[in-house]
């Protein structure tokens, strides 16, 4: 066999190019695998949120899967059962978290004051103190009662631990027949009593 250094030279070049090609292919493969893992984790996380949402949105499931006084936070939505055994749901367009304080913008809240009848509450902003089981709402607060009446207020406090909604500022009540105003109100919906009390004398607007 005749020794030809040129053949070895070309062979070395070929092997070098082959190795570079293999390494490049492996890098591309690793990138694709990484992307696939990220996408898979994203969908798994989203599906978990959806499953939790489906579980929590059902009153019966929520009551069976959550203890009284506990809550479940999913992104900008809060589900829970108050100490009265009543489920509640809070949703905000924007939220910021500061330890136990959740600052909310464009708030929607659904609670069950009178048994299975929903009471819906809207406000431009507010905050929730999760450790104290309290929510403060302000600016264009509107409470849609189960009987069709609407209460409007500048601000309200909701105390889930005591089953109380209260305001000490001017409020108005609009029903089918009349519109009244007062210097505050108090809703009590605990196990002992369920009352709606307006402060000071109501006057027709």
Predicted confidence (pLDDT) per residue in 181-202, tens digit: 888 999 887 767 778 888 876 6
pLDDT for 64 equals: 37
pLDDT at 98: 74
The DSSP result for 176-195, as a single string, is SS-EEEES-EEEEESSS-EE
Place of tokens 């996408």: 39
Would you say residue 152 has pLDDT above 90?
yes
Regarding pTM above 0.85, the answer is no
Bridge partners of 135?
128, 158
65-104: b or e for each residue (b if 16 or more CB lie within 10 Å)?
ebeeeebbbeebbbbbbbbbebbbbbbbeebeeeeeebeb
Could you tell me the two tokens for 137? 């709402």
pLDDT in tens, 71-108: 555 556 777 676 667 777 788 888 787 777 888 889 99
Query: For residue range 99-132, what is the model confidence (pLDDT) as tens digits?
Result: 778 888 899 988 877 666 788 999 999 988 877 8
């Amino acid at each position: 066999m005749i020794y030809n250094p040129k053949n070895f030279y070309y062979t070395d070049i070929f092997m070098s190019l082959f190795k570079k090609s293999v390494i490049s292919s492996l890098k591309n493969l690793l990138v694709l695998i990484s992307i696939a893992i990220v996408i898979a984790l994203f969908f798994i996380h989203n599906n978990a949120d959806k499953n939790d949402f489906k579980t929590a949105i059902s009153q019966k499931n929520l009551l069976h899967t959550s203890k009284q006084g506990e809550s479940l936070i999913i992104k900008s939505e809060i589900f829970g059962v108050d100490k009265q055994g009543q489920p509640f749901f809070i949703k905000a367009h924007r939220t910021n978290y500061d330890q136990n304080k959740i600052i909310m913008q464009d708030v929607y809240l659904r609670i069950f004051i009178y048994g299975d009848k929903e009471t819906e509450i809207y406000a431009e902003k507010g905050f929730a103190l999760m450790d104290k089981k309290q929510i403060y709402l302000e600016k264009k607060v509107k409470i849609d009662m189960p009987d069709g009446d609407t209460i409007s207020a500048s601000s309200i406090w909701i105390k889930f631990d005591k089953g109380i909604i209260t305001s000490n500022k001017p409020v108005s009540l609009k029903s089918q027949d009349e519109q009244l105003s007062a210097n505050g109100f108090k809703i009590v919906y605990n196990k002992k009593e369920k009352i709606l009390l307006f402060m000071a004398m109501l006057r027709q607007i």
